[in-house]
Each structure stands twice: as C-alpha cells, then as structure tokens.
C-alpha cells in the first residue's frame, strides 16, 4: 500500500501559473509541469537563501524531501529554458497555502 503524501505548506506568492517563450503560439509549445512545492523549495533555498533544514521546517517536510524537490524542480526549469518549453505551475491537493506554525 502506498503511503499518502504529507501536506506541504506554501506561501501564497505565485501570481502566474503559466510562463512561455515570447512570440511562440501556445499550441506549438511543449509544457514542463512544475509543481508548486518544487517552486516553493527553490524560492526558499535559492531566493531566500535558507538552508534545506529551515526550508523543510517552513514547508512541513523533511530535509531529504526538500532536496528531492530542488533537484526535480531545477531540472525541469533548466530543461524548459534550454528546450524552449513553456512552464506550467500546478498545485496538487497535498499543497496548503499557508505557513506551517511552530
């Protein structure tokens, strides 16, 4: 039996959910699906310069999970930039939009 995903807490900061190369019709683009928790992990570690342990505490997840999110998110962003793909940010049900308390 598969263990259910633990809730992940995100700050409600994302305004746009779809980013695409300029001048290319949406129908002609391949789409890289970036999960909201991958974006949050990159925001906390890369932009806010938190260590993975602190980022994990804020998101309510473990440090190894933060590391996996960083790896998969960065890989998707770099692939989209190099290959000229659009980036779509999705928010699965296991994501909550508030900061974990305590």
Domain boundaries defined on the chain: 18-92
Residue of higher predicted confidence among 51 and 9: 51
Nearest CA-CA partner of 34 in 50, 58, 18: 18
- Please write the tens of the pLDDT for every residue from 48-87: 999 999 999 999 999 999 999 999 999 999 999 999 999 9
Ranked by mean pLDDT, the top range of 25-29, 32-36, 70-74, 96-100 is 70-74
- Give the separation between CA 94 and CA 99, rounded to whole angstroms: 14
pLDDT at 26 over 50: yes
Pick the CATH number of 18-92 from 1.10.10, 2.70.98, 3.30.70, 2.60.40: 1.10.10
Distances (CA, A) of 92 to 6, 66, 75, 83, 87: 12, 16, 19, 25, 16
Q: pTM for this structure?
A: 0.81
pLDDT at 93 over 60: yes
């Amino acid at each position: 039996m598969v263990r259910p995903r633990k809730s992940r807490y995100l700050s409600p900061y994302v305004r746009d959910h779809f980013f695409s190369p300029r001048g290319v019709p949406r129908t002609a683009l391949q789409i890289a699906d970036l999960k909201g928790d991958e974006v949050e992990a990159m925001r906390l570690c890369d932009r806010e310069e938190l260590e993975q342990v602190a980022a994990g505490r804020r998101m309510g997840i473990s440090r190894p999970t933060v590391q996996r999110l960083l790896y998969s998110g960065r890989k998707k962003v770099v692939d989209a930039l190099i290959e000229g793909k659009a980036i779509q940010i999705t928010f699965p049900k296991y994501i909550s939009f508030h900061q974990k308390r305590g």
